[in-house]
């Protein structure tokens, strides 16, 4: 069984992330979408439990997808679950440069997990967790950016900030 890990902070999960999981399902037998802690992000809007719930709801249509949370190194997680691949999405050249550096690092520590890059859908290339949070703060529509449960959770969370 070929297992792939699709990592991210998923704060919150977007339709771009869902697209990546869907594409990974076409390539691998088992796909684990894992929310992780990014040391470069100062704070998260959603708790790990909330992120996992939103991930499960957004990915429910994909029967071979599992969700998880891990607060450690990606290469360790990939080894722990026996992943042969780490699947990363690319929206632009800036993403590519960063992700290639991370791929080299992960490969140096776990050469059994190959990093696989999947290009973002052109319709979703501008969608990011940061963008949907900003749109929510401005009261703008999130149609086509996140699943309805995520939009509702964002509106609720942002309204409590104010």
Active-site residue list: 17, 41, 91, 129
- CB of 41 closer than 8 Å to CB of 8: no
- CB of 19 closer than 8 Å to CB of 100: no
- β-pairing, 65-70 with 85-90? unpaired
Cα(54)–Cα(63) distance, integer angstroms: 16
Q: Which of 67, 40, 54 is nearest to 11 (CA)?
A: 54
The tokens describing 71, both together, are 């607060």
Q: Which of 103, 145, 144, 133 is nearest to 5 (CA)?
A: 103
- CB of 38 closer than 8 Å to CB of 7: no
């Amino acid at each position: 069984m070929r297992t792939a890990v699709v990592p991210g902070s998923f704060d919150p999960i977007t339709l771009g992330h869902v697209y990546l999981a869907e594409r990974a399902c076409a390539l691998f037998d088992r796909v684990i979408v894992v929310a992780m802690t990014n040391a470069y992000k100062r704070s998260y809007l959603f708790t790990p439990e909330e992120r996992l719930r939103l991930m499960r709801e957004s990915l429910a249509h994909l029967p071979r997808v599992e969700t998880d949370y891990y607060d450690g190194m990606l290469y360790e997680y990939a080894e722990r679950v026996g992943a042969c691949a780490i699947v990363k999405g690319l929206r632009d050249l800036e993403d590519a440069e960063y992700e290639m550096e991370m791929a080299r690092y992960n490969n140096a520590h776990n050469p059994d997990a190959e990093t696989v890059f999947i290009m973002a859908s052109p319709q979703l290339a501008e969608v990011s967790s940061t963008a949907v949070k900003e749109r929510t703060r401005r009261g703008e529509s999130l149609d086509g950016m996140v699943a309805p449960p995520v939009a509702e959770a964002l509106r609720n969370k942002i309204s409590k900030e104010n």
